[in-house]
Amino acid sequence: MSEHIEVRRTAKLFIGGAFPRSESGRTYEVKSPEGKFIANVAQGSRKDARDAVTAARAIQPKWAGATAYNRGQILYRIAEMMEGRRAQFIDEVSPWAKSAKKAEAEVDEAIDRWIWFAGWSDKIAMVVGSSNPVAGPFFNFSVPEPTGVVAAIAPSRPSLLGLVDTIAPIIVSGNTVVVIASEDAPMAAVTLGEVLATSDLPGGVINILTGSYAEVAPWLASHMDVNAIDLSGVENEKVAADLEKAAAENLKRSLRPGIELDGLTRIKNWLELKTVWHPRGF
Amino acid sequence: MGLTSQAAASTFADETRTNASLTKFLHGLPGVDQVGADERAAMLSTRSIKTSAKAEGIDLAISMIDLTTLEGMDTAGKIKTLCAKAQRPDPFDPTTPSVAAVCVYGDKVAQAKSYLTGTSIQVAAVATAFPSGRASRAVKLLDTSDAVAQGADEIDMVIDRGAFLEGRYLDVFEEIQEVKVACKSAHLKVIFETGELRTYDNVRRASWLAMIAGADFIKTSTGKVAPAATLPVTLVMLQAIRDFHNAGQRKIGMKPAGGIRTTKDALRYLVLVKETLGDAWLTPDLFRLGASSVLNDLLMQRKKLQTGAYSGPDYVTVD
């Protein structure tokens, strides 16, 4: 047998359930904090973001229309698939983690997070929704509905846990998401895309872009077909302010950076309450 | 159009005398290099069109659209909204050009006409037992003259693909001629349903057959059969139009229809026309796009160029 030559992975984007290279053909070098070369990763462009929004929009009604039970099962399945790649994830977050132990802890927590959010899928409507007292012969209900297509900039650290914490509460209720992963530590995000592709998640529900958020995020913020934007990962205040301004054009629901939210509030943040009146029987 | 369709028929009088002579002529046309046609169409579709050229291309494409609704469920309300959209595709922006025509079934012509009086928008009707073309010639002619009597400016007829594939070219030829007579002053577009003709050679033969018989436009498909319009098929038809014109005949128009959904698709067709026939054909009088969903995409792209932000389907009308 001849000597095995290592077959290296091409780190690509995850759009519409497929793994395209960037439309621009660009890649960028990812290096460890010590300056060691790790990989060349696709550098997403505004057109990749546009394609991702198209994919996210196309699948959104179907994803929102799936039963809460089904969505929960799929989130659970994501955790299962991540578990199988645990060693790889640890390897990929460790250059940026303080210690090997911390890297392990981050990956385990990220897997657990999917389970935690999966459990919420068929309970959120009961917790957030309500039957309201009204002065008349009517039932009055408030029911939560997903906002639609959400754009998100994931925090740069922790690169995997931060990403999961961003996207899981968005999609659990039926939203779809276009997320820009940590720019300098994107390796775990690339692997997460490969996990999602094998988790029964319909293509387009989660779209992962790698590259510069300063370059791509403005196109998402100004995109008229995006309904909400999560700016959690934006570190530069000036950029955050500009993105908020652009997002205001079509009244996007925005989440400012630097706001700590618990998991349930994170889910609620991407819901709209619809209140309906229904005549009571005689 | 200096020369009349009668002139074409008389020029080709010998060829069109019998089915045998017509077959000999059509089968004597040079064969289409399939690989070459596919490659040329693919090569031209890689051309990148940006900024001001793109803006012009989008407006030109909008002005060439035959805004179409051909459904069993077409209501009076649907025709009304279609006609409103045809006049003002983007109600927020009066600089948006109106489309070239609306295309409906024959029984909806009078309605469409009434909503479009005082505009330059043409009303096109599909006729001759569209989309299958499976009816007797008498019915087809009646179908045509009925649409014309109701005020149709343009008639989109389908050829008898069965007869064509059986080699009864003269039957197809005579039918087009008779429909042309029934059209009176209305323009005649001849639909080949290229998806059913199987080969590019057949497409080239059908093109010549229709042009000699008196078609004003040749059109790829009904939109009811897949594959509908494709770039290579359109290229073959455009080349036939060019050769016909170079042979001293009239300028024939071209209408790809069906399957054109995005701005990119539309611009690719315009590139194909420009490269094959030149600027003279880049007018709604000689080139049309048979489509409806592409209009919304063109409007969204137009908005994107104006505002710099991507637009969305929430900001165009629902069809």
B315·A219 Cβ contact <8 A: no
Reported confidence tier of residue A70, pLDDT bands at 50, 70, 90: very high
Whether the bond into A33 is cis, omega within 30 of 0: no
How far B117 CA sits from the closest chain A CA (Å)? 35
Domain ranges of chain A: 27-279
The answer to whether the CB atoms of A57 and B309 lie below 8 A apart is no
Distance of CA A169 to the CA centre of its chain: 8
- B227 reaches A (C-beta below 8 A): no
How far is it, in rounded angstroms, from Cα A114 to Cα A76?
6
Interchain proximity B310–A50, CB inside 8 Å: yes
Residue A28 token pair:
């960028």
Inter-chain contacts counted by CB atoms under 8 A, chains A and B: 26
Residue B131 per-residue DSSP state: T
Q: What is the pLDDT of residue B2?
A: 41
Q: Any idea what the Cα angle at residue B168 is, between residues B162 and B170, rounded to 5°?
A: 125
Region A94-113: mean pLDDT is 96
Please state, in angstroms and as integers, the Cα–Cα distance from residue A221 to each residue in A163, B56, B294, following that order.
19, 27, 25
Amino acid letter for position A235:
E
Please state, in angstroms and rounded to a whole number, the distance separating the CA atoms of residues B171 and A37: 73
Shortest distance between the Cα of A225 and any Cα of chain B, in A, equals 4
Q: DSSP letters along A181-217, please?
A: PPSS--HHHHHHHHHHTTTTPPTTSEEEE-S-HHHHH
The tokens describing A110, both together, are 């990220």
Cβ atoms within 10 Å of A95's Cβ, excluding its own: 17
Number of domains chain B contains? 1
pLDDT tens column, A216-229: 999 999 999 999 99
Report the residue of B264, B310, B315, B318 to disrupt the A interface, i.e. the one with the largest count of A CBs within 10 Å: B310
B42 in any annotated domain: yes
Q: For A231-266, what is each residue's pLDDT tens digit?
A: 999 999 999 999 999 999 999 999 999 888 999 999
Within a domain: B312: no
Of the candidates B177, B187, B182, the residue with the CA atom closest to the CA atom of residue B100: B187
Which residue in the set A219, A225, A246 is minimally distant from B312, CB to CB?
A: A225
A222 lies within 8 A of chain B by CB: yes
A275: β partners: A142
Q: What is the pLDDT of residue A282?
A: 63
Assess if residue B317 is contained within a domain. Answer: no
Q: Containing domain of residue B201, as a range? A: 5-307
Q: What is the mean pLDDT of residues A42-46?
A: 97
Q: What is the CATH number of domain A27-279?
A: 3.40.605.10
Nearest residue on chain B to A249, alpha-carbon basis: B309
Task: Write down the pLDDT at residue B240.
Answer: 97
Beta bridge partners of B220: none
Structural domain includes residue B313: no
Of all residues in chain A, the percent with pLDDT exceeding 90 is 96
pLDDT digits (tens, 9 = 90+) for A188-206: 999 999 999 999 999 999 9
Q: Could you list the active site residues of B?
A: 156, 219, 255
Nearest CA in chain A to B311: A224
Task: Look up residue B234 and give its two tokens.
Answer: 């359109």
Contacts of B262 in chain A (CB under 8 A): none
| Axis-axis angle for helices A100-120, A86-93 (nearest 10) | 120
From the list A219, A224, A246, the residue facing B311 with the nearest CB is A224
The rounded distance, in Å, linking the Cα atoms of A164 and A117 is 10
Q: How many CB atoms lie within 10 A of CB A281?
A: 6
Q: Which pLDDT tens digits describe chain B residue by residue (319 residues)?
A: 345 666 676 789 899 999 999 999 999 999 999 999 999 999 999 999 998 999 999 999 999 999 999 999 999 999 999 999 999 999 999 999 999 999 999 999 999 999 999 999 999 999 999 999 999 999 999 999 999 999 999 999 999 999 999 999 999 999 999 999 999 999 999 999 999 999 999 999 999 999 999 999 999 999 999 899 999 999 999 999 999 999 999 999 999 999 899 999 999 999 999 999 999 999 999 999 998 889 999 999 999 999 999 999 989 988 7
Cα B183 to its chain centre, rounded Å, is: 16
pLDDT given for residue A45 in this prediction = 97
Is A24's Cβ below 8 Å from some Cβ in B?
A: no
A239 contact B CB<8A: no
